[in-house]
Amino acid sequence: MERTSQAQTLRELSPVLRTLFTAFLLTIGFGYLAAVFYLFLVDIDPHLKMGMRTIAGIEMKYRGQPSGSRLEAALRGAMADKLRPEERDTIVGWVRGGAKQAGFGQIKPILDRNCVACHNAKSGLPVPPLDSFEAVAKLAETDRGPSLAQLARVSHVHLFGLSFIFLLTGTIFALSTAAPAFKLTVVALPFVAIWADIASWWLTRYEPLFAYVVFGGGTLMGAALAVQILIPLWQMWAPHSNATAATVQPSKP
């Protein structure tokens, strides 16, 4: 008896399943692009405005800025266009002078005029408040990067979330007709990249060179996700010749 059964490929799926998989892959793809855009606005563009390259910005994000504070970094980066130069210099001078409560009365009108509308505890925005001396003084402290508790919180969220995403996209990609060795590489690569990326968040606190691994891990994840999305979409919907689906049967005497 001949064995003719084969695992079902993407092209052989019903229209309902192909539509479901396509909607999911497109949604994940657009979600990833939105995440990259958000990452650019929050982590890359502010550092570029400070004259820093991407790797230096990654190092500063996870290692902090031992020679400065979060407040000064924001005033020279993301918030540089929100104040006049003389106002910014007044606040920076106060910070570098020790951020004393006695001098807070001089900078409070500047903050009230330019910042407090968004930076207050009642705004509901994910931004630190600037409406009291205690809140501003905390931001004026030396920036040592995220705490261990903050890293642990962000790490476990990313590990769970990314694992489920690549489990689902990898399962769909596994139904493609790509070469087995290529499929194995593309399915395993994003998980290796996740481990390297998140582990380097912690290691960059102690060794700046791991900032390169953070960048490399994120790049590999994006490349693997693109392959896991584009190849299945192509194989599910691209026109194809019936001749390519023919199988060669062994001749019988």
What pLDDT is recorded for position 31?
97
29 has pLDDT over 90: yes
139 has pLDDT over 60: yes
How is the chain split into domains, by residue range?
13-43+146-238, 69-143
**pLDDT band per the 50, 70, 90 thresholds, residue 25:** very high
244 has pLDDT over 60: no
Mean pLDDT along residues 100-120: 88
pLDDT tens per residue across span 140-181: 877 677 889 999 999 999 999 999 999 999 999 999 999 999
Residue count of the chain: 253
Q: What is the mean pLDDT of the chain?
A: 85
Q: Pick the range with the lowest mean pLDDT from 72-76, 94-98, 134-138, 205-209.
A: 72-76
Q: Global pTM? A: 0.68
What does the alpha-carbon distance between residue 108 and residue 247 come to, in Å, rounded to a whole number?
A: 78
**pLDDT band per the 50, 70, 90 thresholds, residue 16:** very high
What does the alpha-carbon distance between residue 9 and residue 174 come to, in Å, rounded to a whole number?
A: 9
Q: Identify the residue with better confidence: 72 or 87.
A: 87
Tokens of 161: 């979330």
**Residue in the structure block whose two tokens are 């023919």:** 246
The DSSP bridge partners found for residue 142 are 69
Tokens of 62: 């996870």
Q: Identify the residue with better confidence: 91 or 223.
A: 223
Q: Pick the range with the lowest mean pLDDT from 14-28, 43-57, 145-159, 205-219.
A: 43-57
